[in-house]
Amino acid sequence: MAVVAWIGLGHMGGPMTANMIKAGHEVRGFDLDAAALAAAVGHGVTPAPSIADAVDGADVAFTMLPKGDHVRTVYLGDGGILSSAAKETLLVDSSTIDIDSARAVHDAAADGAFRFVDAPVSGGMSGAQAGTLTFMIGGESVAVADASKYIEPMAANIIPTGAATTGQAAKICNNLMLFINLASTAEGAVLADRLGLDKQVFWNIASVSSGDSWALRTWYPLAGVVPTAASNKDFAPTFTAELANKDISLAISAARSTGTPLEIGERVQQLFQRLIDADQGRKDCSMIVSLVDGSLTSGKVTK
């Protein structure tokens, strides 16, 4: 049994800590949001009044925070992890963040003789609840191996990615491909419908043909075809358009800094931005289909 510090107990961090507790670990949690902390206490997390209290004597500290700015604050800020944790505490950031922030925290951790890995996840809230996330872990190999042991109760797949920041690189590139696939699925689905194809028949063909993708099989944007799809529930979010926009924007900024043209990715980002501008950013990202079928007009879905 280990003592685990956990900073960030939101949609992902909350259920992830529940799996750590089920595995027998003691989890000390900190979150700025009182409701998030209270929910975590409800499944057995011990509340910590500060980051310093959470990491005091911890074997490992996880962070699961919204963006790079939050991660920089929590690691590098006054009273943050690097100024309060013991050098022996293994540091694991599972947030999805920009490469520059991941690099800054890696460098500061190395300067302070800490072991730190970037370990973002794929699998969403359902994977967090089920303990079936995919972790992609970048950093020094011994630290990656040590982190993998702690990560096991939360994961179906644990994949070392190489040097510092390559975990974030894998996550960003995977999600770039996911959202391009989602946009292409929306276009194919609506066009097939308008050409007179039964939507189920078209899905049956595409899912065993070269148009197949995870987005098609899991998030099909026309209702009544795939049970897990948000299209069946008026686009109540499984993954919000705002989060999709954040992830694809991370890929675009990484692409700019490496001189890589992402013509399709940039176009898909603009589609998510249109949903956000129409006040639909909190809806599921598969609502991108409303820009193809024309049901999103002047800020509201008309069908």
Query: Where would I find the H helices in 131-262?
Result: 141-151, 166-194, 199-206, 214-218, 241-257
The verdict on whether 149 is a catalytic residue reads no
13 binds ligand NAD (CB under 6 A): yes
Helix (H) or strand (E) run with residue 160 in it: strand 155-162
Q: How far is the CB of 10 from ligand NAD (least distance, A)?
A: 2
* Binding flags for ligand NAD, 52-81, as an x/- string (CB under 6 A): ------------xxx---x--xx-------
Q: How far is the CB of 185 from ligand NAD (least distance, A)?
A: 19
Q: What is the DSSP string of 236-261?
A: --SSBHHHHHHHHHHHHHHHHHTT--
Strand partners, 93: 63, 118
Closest of 285, 281, 265 to residue 186, by C-alpha: 285
Strand partners, 7: 30, 63
3-state DSSP assignment of residue 59: coil
Phi, psi of 198 (to 5 degrees): -65, 135
Rank residues 50 and 302 by Cβ distance to ligand NAD and give the closer one.
Answer: 50
Q: How far is the CB of 8 from ligand NAD (least distance, A)?
A: 4
Residue span binding ligand NAD (CB under 6 A) among the ranges 118-126, 143-151, 197-205, 264-272: 118-126
User: Which residues make Cβ contacts (< 8 Å) with residue 47, sequence separation at least 6?
Assistant: 28, 29, 30, 37, 40, 41
Q: Which of 30, 179, 219, 235 binds ligand NAD (CB under 6 A)?
A: 30
Closest of 294, 298, 301 to residue 193, by C-alpha: 294
Tokens read off for 141: 């190999």
**Count of beta carbons in the 10 Å neighbourhood of residue 195:** 8
Rank residues 96 and 280 by Cβ distance to ligand NAD and give the closer one.
Answer: 96
85 binds ligand NAD (CB under 6 A): no
219 binds ligand NAD (CB under 6 A): no
Q: How far is the CB of 196 from ligand NAD (least distance, A)?
A: 36
* Binding flags for ligand NAD, 242-261, as an x/- string (CB under 6 A): -x------------------
* Binding flags for ligand NAD, 224-243, as an x/- string (CB under 6 A): ---------------x---x
The pairing of beta strand 300-301 with beta strand 296-297? antiparallel
Closest of 94, 83, 81, 88 to residue 114, by C-alpha: 88
Among candidate residues 22, 67, 87, 171, the one labeled active-site is 171
7 binds ligand NAD (CB under 6 A): yes
Q: Which residue has the tokens 């991941």?
A: 102
Rank residues 53 and 187 by Cβ distance to ligand NAD and give the closer one.
Answer: 53
Residue span binding ligand NAD (CB under 6 A) among the ranges 3-11, 38-46, 267-275, 277-285: 3-11
Q: How many residues bind ligand NAD (CB under 6 A)?
A: 25
* Binding flags for ligand NAD, 89-108, as an x/- string (CB under 6 A): ------xx------------
Helix axes 199-206, 166-194, angle to 10 degrees: 140
Tokens read off for 13: 């961090």
Rank residues 284 and 293 by Cβ distance to ligand NAD and give the closer one.
Answer: 284
**Which residues of the chain form contacts with ligand NAD (CB under 6 A)?**
7-13, 30-33, 36, 64-66, 70, 73-74, 95-96, 121, 124-125, 239, 243
Active site residues: 171
